[in-house]
């Protein structure tokens, strides 16, 4: 490609010497490269004379083709560079429902302040769906609250949060000093998230540790809907503490005291081997998700170091 550029420059200037100067070459080097090009093409493309170099008829055709090729190459290179630059400021991410409702808004607000030109495309699903999006390449990375990230995905903990079992104040479990045992929890119809959510998986694993299983009276893919069902008296709801913060604060729902049941779970950044963390967008998202200490303190989220 450089030899073609040299040939086009010779045609423009009418001189091998002048073309060499413009391209930062010595005249002998330019002459050797043009002779090599003629041998490769098996064509004479220049008449060399004491008054300069002129194109042969074949040479004029080759120069026209070379100029077209060089313009296309320049356009291709410029387009690729523009795409790469755009990619640095574009992030395709997915987050689980709880993350989307309670943590992602503050992360996105900070991203907007620190990188106003960045574009974030955020998809929402339960933890299992987020991992599937990453596996299929639909998104670059994700944040989930599942106790386990399925292989071969990579993960890094960015914090933990807790689930609570919440009931109306008049519910027997709300009595002061009453502790709910695993057996009692497992034998009661609970208001729970759907299978595949990090919330449901955390509950299932906690009960499975005592060789018990979850008994669901209502399954919904919405924290808000389950909270409304609990407020309507449909039964105990198992939800993230952050999703019930307002109701627990004003006392419309009460957090049940559990015994021998741990409902703590990790929040994890998840990605595949093909993820590109060299992009400005991905790097900044990772930084914001890990360093949002104000949100952690405000909502009771314990952040990992």
Domain identity same for 6 and 150: no
Domain identity same for 142 and 165: no
Residue 121 tokens read as 């495309």
Residue that terminates a domain, selected from 67, 87, 107 = 87
Domain identity same for 204 and 253: yes
Domain identity same for 193 and 168: yes
Residues near 44 by Cβ (< 8 Å), separated by ≥ 6? Answer: 38, 56, 58, 59
β-bridge mates for residue 123, sequence order:
94
Distance between CA atoms of residues 12 and 1, nearest Å: 17
pTM: 0.66
Q: What is the CATH number of the domain that holds 78?
A: 1.10.10.10
pLDDT of residue 145: 92
pLDDT of residue 275: 64
pLDDT of residue 176: 82
Domain total for the chain?
3
What domain range includes position 108?
Answer: 88-154+271-303
Domain identity same for 186 and 248: yes
β-bridge mates for residue 147, sequence order:
none
Q: What is the CATH number of the domain that holds 109?
A: 3.40.190.10
**DSSP H helical segments within the chain, as ranges?**
2-13, 16-23, 27-41, 57-88, 97-102, 104-114, 127-136, 182-186, 198-208, 223-231, 245-250, 280-291, 293-299
pLDDT of residue 77: 60
Domain identity same for 79 and 173: no
pLDDT of residue 293: 39
Domain identity same for 225 and 253: yes
pLDDT of residue 81: 53
Distances from the Cα of 140 to the Cα of 5, 132, 152, 168, angstroms:
39, 12, 15, 41
Residue that terminates a domain, selected from 87, 102, 122 = 87
Domain identity same for 79 and 212: no
Distance between CA atoms of residues 23 and 33, nearest Å: 13
Please give the helix or strand (H or E) that residue 277 lies within, else none: none
Domain identity same for 240 and 174: yes
Residues near 184 by Cβ (< 8 Å), separated by ≥ 6? Answer: none
Domain identity same for 237 and 289: no
Domain identity same for 199 and 122: no
pLDDT of residue 195: 94
Residue that terminates a domain, selected from 87, 106, 128 = 87
Domain identity same for 106 and 131: yes
The residues of the chain scoring below 70 in pLDDT are 52, 76-89, 275-283, 290-305
């Amino acid at each position: 490609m450089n030899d073609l550029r040299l040939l086009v420059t010779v045609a423009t200037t009418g001189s091998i010497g002048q073309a060499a100067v413009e391209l930062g070459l010595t005249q002998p080097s330019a002459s050797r490269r043009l002779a090599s090009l003629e041998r490769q093409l098996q064509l004479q493309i220049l008449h060399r004379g004491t008054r300069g170099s002129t194109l042969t008829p074949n040479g004029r055709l080759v120069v026209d083709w070379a100029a077209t090729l060089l313009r296309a190459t320049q356009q291709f290179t410029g387009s690729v560079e523009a795409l790469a630059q755009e990619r640095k400021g574009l992030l395709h991410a997915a987050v689980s429902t709880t993350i989307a409702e309670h943590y992602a808004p503050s992360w996105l607000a900070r991203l907007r302040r620190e990188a106003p030109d960045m574009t974030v495309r955020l998809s929402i699903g339960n933890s299992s769906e987020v991992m599937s999006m990453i596996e299929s390449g639909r998104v670059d990375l994700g944040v989930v609250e599942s106790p386990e990230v399925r292989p071969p995905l990579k993960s890094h903990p960015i914090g933990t949060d807790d689930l609570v079992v919440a009931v109306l104040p008049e519910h027997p479990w709300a009595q002061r000093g009453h502790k709910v045992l695993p057996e009692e929890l497992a034998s009661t119809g609970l208001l729970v998230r759907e299978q595949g959510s990090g919330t449901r998986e955390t509950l299932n694993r906690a009960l499975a540790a005592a060789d018990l299983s979850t008994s669901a009276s209502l399954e919904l893919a919405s924290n808000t809907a389950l909270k409304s069902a609990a407020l309507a008296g449909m039964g105990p709801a198992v939800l993230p503490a952050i999703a019930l913060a307002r109701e627990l604060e004003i006392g419309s729902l009460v957090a049940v005291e559990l015994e021998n049941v741990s409902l703590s779970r990790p929040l994890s950044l998840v990605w595949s081997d093909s993820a590109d963390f060299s992009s400005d967008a991905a790097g900044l998202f990772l930084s914001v998700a890990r360093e949002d200490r104000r949100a952690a303190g405000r909502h009771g989220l314990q952040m990992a170091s």
